[in-house]
Amino acid sequence: MATAGPGAAPVVIYGPAGGYAALRDGLAERGWRALAAEDAGFEWPEPCGLVGISDGAEAALRRALDAPETVDVLILIAPTAIRPANGAIDSGSAALESRLHEVQCPTLVVFGQDDATVAPEATSIYRERIPNCSIAFVYDAGHDVAAERPEALVNLVADYLERRETFIVQNRSRVINP
């Protein structure tokens, strides 16, 4: 199966229990079926879109690294997988950080603009190490982006699922009087 567009394979989400409900419901309105990773075990769609939220980002990242054939697009939202502190990576995430260059699929890393949970240096680490990585900030959101700015997050995630790194190309018409 492929995740070339809405209605194809489901999107699998790793994240805090209940923490992704707004994202799941918003994606559903855009035609995407999203399900929790714990519910995907018996029907893991391969390859699929994979989303990791907050602490769930580490599991998503590990799956993308250890079973790259199962993931064709990776989205990390407010990820805590890499934890820089005082200019260094803490020992818990150093090993993972050293493997970021192995991520093969297009990757979007999203942070709330006011996220105080993760040091701001983390964005550069993902952007510099993952070969095809885009960074996005959601305005007026902290760590819990899905709860604080659900519409903005859904627009961003759905756009990236559909268009991958070409999501940077503006495709909305701004014609006023055609």
Partner 1 sequence: MKASYLGSMGYAHRRDFPLTWPTPPSYNDPAVSVQSYQDGMEECEFAEEMGFEWVSFSEHHYSGRIATGTPAVMAAAVAERCKKVKIAMLGPLLPLNNPVRAAEELTLLDNITNGRLVMGFLRGTPNEDQVYGVNPAEGRGRMLEGMDLILKAMTEPQPFAWEGRYYQFRTVAVWPRPVQRPYPAALVATRSDDTVQYAAKRGLGLGVSFLPLDQTAQITDKYRQWCDDAGWTPQPEQMVFRGSIYLAETDQQAQDWFDRQVNQGRAPGMALRSSVSQVIQATRDGQEVDYRNVFAGSASGDIVGGAPGLTFVGGPDKVFKEIKAYRDRCGMGVVDLFFQQPTLTHGDIMAELDLFGREVLPRLKEL
- Which residue ranges make up the site for partner 1 (CB under 8 A)? 113, 123-124, 127-128, 134-140, 149, 152-153, 155-156, 167-170
Question: By the 8 A CB rule, do 51 and 34 touch?
Answer: yes
Amino acid, res. 79: P
**Closer residue to partner 1 in complex, CB, 43/114:** 114
- Strand partners for 53: 77
> By C-beta, is 40 or 110 nearer to partner 1?
110
Bridge partners (DSSP) of residue 107 are 74, 133
Query: Is the Cβ of residue 81 or residue 141 nearer to partner 1 in the bound state?
Result: 141
Please report how close the Cβ of residue 126 comes to partner 1 at its closest, in angstroms: 9
Residue 140 CB, nearest approach to partner 1 (Å):
7
DSSP 30-85: TT--EEEHHHHGGG--SSEEEEEETTHHHHHHHHHHH-GGGEEEEEEES--SS-EE
Encoding tokens for residue 48?
């699929």
Q: Are 63 and 38 in contact (CB under 8 A)?
A: no
- The least distance separating partner 1 from the CB of residue 156, rounded to whole angstroms, comes to 5
Q: How far is the CB of 133 from partner 1 (least distance, A)?
A: 9
Q: Work out how close the CB of 168 gets to partner 1 at its nearest, in angstroms, rounded to a whole number.
A: 4
Q: Which CB sits closer to partner 1, 95 or 169?
A: 169
CB burial string 25-58: b at 16+ within 10 A, e below? ebbeeeebebbbbeebeeeebebbbbbbbbbbbb
**Contact assessment for residue 81 and residue 61, using Cβ atoms and an 8 Å cutoff:** yes
Nearest CB to partner 1, comparing residues 92 and 101:
101
